[in-house]
């Protein structure tokens, strides 16, 4: 015969029931609250979406309705490029078209063409928006002081503010896209996701490009969230530095995985001293010779042959305990205007290919 639970237990359980019910109710409210906040997707009724796709910009009125695209439909707007955006963290897109208010209306039945198109990409995180800007900016566009960072030309402007990446395209000359961009950037509400991007790179030469790689850096699936910068150094050479920032534990785990990967792929590596600093040199037949250093929650890597004159700068950078500087400070430092004179020289351990000036493979 089964023993009955004591009365006190049964009474206790009865009193627990409303508490359990309340917990379920509150959890449901939290989920609803999260859903309504929808931090990374836009809906027509979303206040943020409405704010960032205004019906009027100074001198401009919006043409028609805003068009929205999700990860499923983005390809309809940008075709095969959609995959790149989605890999980079894309969440949603709102497209608005504007016409200059002073522009005469088209003839009856004529479809009005926009004078300005604003693509507002919600990239989910400021770092993702920065990454896409680095991919889409540059080229003939020059750095401009719009939003957190931007690039602009006569008819194009690309910038990011918080997690949003803006592309502004003008279809007329002399549209003052900078003012338009500043107006749009000011619309972005300041919130808790407004963290500045850490862009602490060494000063190694003329910056060729800066990129953010969200995942699978160089095809390695345990290397995510990597910032990469390429430089022109002396004699036309190019070196590329990368940085991963995370907790000490996570960086240690990545380093361990990297060693295991190199062992499995039969890629040789070994320790090398740079003054008091220890680097790991990797002789990778696919990447060439590269080096990495890890400390204080940072994994730093360098692809390419670094001229000897730049080694002190690298040492200073790696020895520094100041891991990060903000994106706005980096932009204001004019990193695209640097110039150096360096003399190439052999590193401590050389391979025959390097002595001949060619790549290791």
Contacting range for other proteins; rule: CB under 8 A; set: 32-40, 200-208, 326-334, 339-347: 32-40
Residue in 12, 16, 24, 32 binding other proteins, rule: CB under 8 A: 32
Residues numbered 59 to 78 that lie near other proteins (CB under 8 A) are: 68, 70-73, 77-78
Q: Please identify, using beta-carbon distances, which residue of 58 and 80 lies nearer to other proteins.
A: 80
Torsion, Cα 324 139 286 347, to 10 degrees, reads -60
Alpha carbon distance 242, 223 (integer Å): 11
- Cβ atoms of residues 254 and 215 within 8 Å: no
Structure tokens at 185: 């950037």
Structure tokens at 315: 């040492």
Residue in 50, 169, 225, 342 binding other proteins, rule: CB under 8 A: 169
Residues numbered 139 to 158 that lie near other proteins (CB under 8 A) are: 155-156
Phi, psi of 294 (to 5 degrees): -135, 135
Question: Minimum Å distance from CB 127 to other proteins?
Answer: 17
Alpha carbon distance 41, 38 (integer Å): 6
Contacting range for other proteins; rule: CB under 8 A; set: 10-18, 193-201, 216-224, 293-301: 216-224
Structure tokens at 17: 């029931």
Q: Please identify, using beta-carbon distances, which residue of 153 and 340 lies nearer to other proteins.
A: 153
Q: Tell me if 313 contacts other proteins by CB under 8 A.
A: no
Alpha carbon distance 119, 168 (integer Å): 6
Question: Minimum Å distance from CB 326 to other proteins?
Answer: 26
Residues numbered 242 to 301 that lie near other proteins (CB under 8 A) are: 259-261, 263-265, 268-273, 284-288
Q: Tell me if 317 contacts other proteins by CB under 8 A.
A: no
DSSP conformational letter for 8: H
Q: Tell me if 92 contacts other proteins by CB under 8 A.
A: yes
What angle is formed at CA 75 by the lines to CA 70 and CA 81, rounded to 5 degrees?
Answer: 115
Alpha helices, DSSP H only, in 246-299? 248-264
Q: What are the residues whose beta carbons fall under 8 Å from the beta carbon of 241, sequence distance 6 or more?
A: 201, 202, 204, 228, 229, 230, 231, 300, 301, 302, 303
Residue in 60, 121, 151, 217 binding other proteins, rule: CB under 8 A: 217
Q: Tell me if 308 contacts other proteins by CB under 8 A.
A: no
Binding residues for other proteins, per CB under 8 A? 28, 31-32, 35, 38, 41-43, 68, 70-73, 77-81, 83-84, 87, 92, 117, 119, 135, 155-156, 167, 169, 171, 213, 216-221, 259-261, 263-265, 268-273, 284-288, 359, 361
């Amino acid at each position: 015969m089964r023993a009955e639970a004591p009365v006190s237990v049964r009474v206790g359980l009865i009193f627990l029931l409303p508490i359990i019910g309340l917990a379920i109710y509150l959890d449901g409210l939290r989920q609803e609250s999260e859903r309504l906040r929808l931090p990374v997707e836009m809906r027509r009724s979303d206040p943020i979406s409405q704010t960032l796709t205004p019906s009027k910009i100074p001198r401009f009125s919006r043409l028609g309705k805003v068009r929205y695209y999700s990860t499923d439909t983005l390809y309809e707007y940008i075709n095969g490029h959609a995959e790149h955006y989605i890999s980079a963290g894309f969440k949603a897109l709102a497209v608005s078209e504007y016409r200059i208010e002073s522009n005469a209306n088209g003839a009856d039945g004529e479809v009005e063409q926009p004078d300005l198109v604003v693509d507002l990409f919600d990239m989910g995180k400021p770092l993702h928006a920065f990454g896409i800007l680095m991919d889409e900016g540059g080229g003939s566009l020059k750095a401009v002081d719009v939003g957190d960072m931007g690039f602009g030309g006569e008819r194009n402007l690309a910038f990011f503010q918080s997690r949003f990446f803006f592309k502004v395209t003008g279809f007329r000359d002399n549209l003052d896209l900078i003012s338009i961009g500043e107006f749009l950037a000011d619309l972005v509400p300041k919130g808790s996701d407004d963290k500045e991007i850490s862009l602490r790179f060494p000063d190694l030469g003329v910056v060729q490009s800066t990129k953010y790689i969200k995942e699978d850096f160089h095809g390695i699936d345990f290397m995510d969230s990597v910032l990469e910068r390429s430089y022109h150094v002396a004699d036309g050479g190019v070196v590329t530095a990368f940085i991963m920032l995370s907790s000490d534990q996570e960086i240690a785990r990545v380093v361990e995985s990297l060693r295991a990967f190199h062992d499995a792929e039969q890629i040789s590596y070994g320790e090398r001293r740079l003054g008091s600093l220890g680097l790991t040199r990797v002789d990778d037949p696919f990447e060439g010779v590269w080096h990495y250093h890890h400390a204080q929650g940072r994994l730093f890597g360098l692809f390419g042959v670094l001229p000897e004159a730049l080694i002190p700068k690298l040492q200073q950078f790696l020895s520094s305990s100041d891991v990060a500087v903000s994106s706005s400070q980096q932009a204001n430092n004019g990193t695209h205007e640097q110039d150096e004179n360096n003399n190439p020289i052999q590193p401590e351990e050389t391979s025959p290919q390097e002595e001949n000036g060619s790549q290791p493979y």
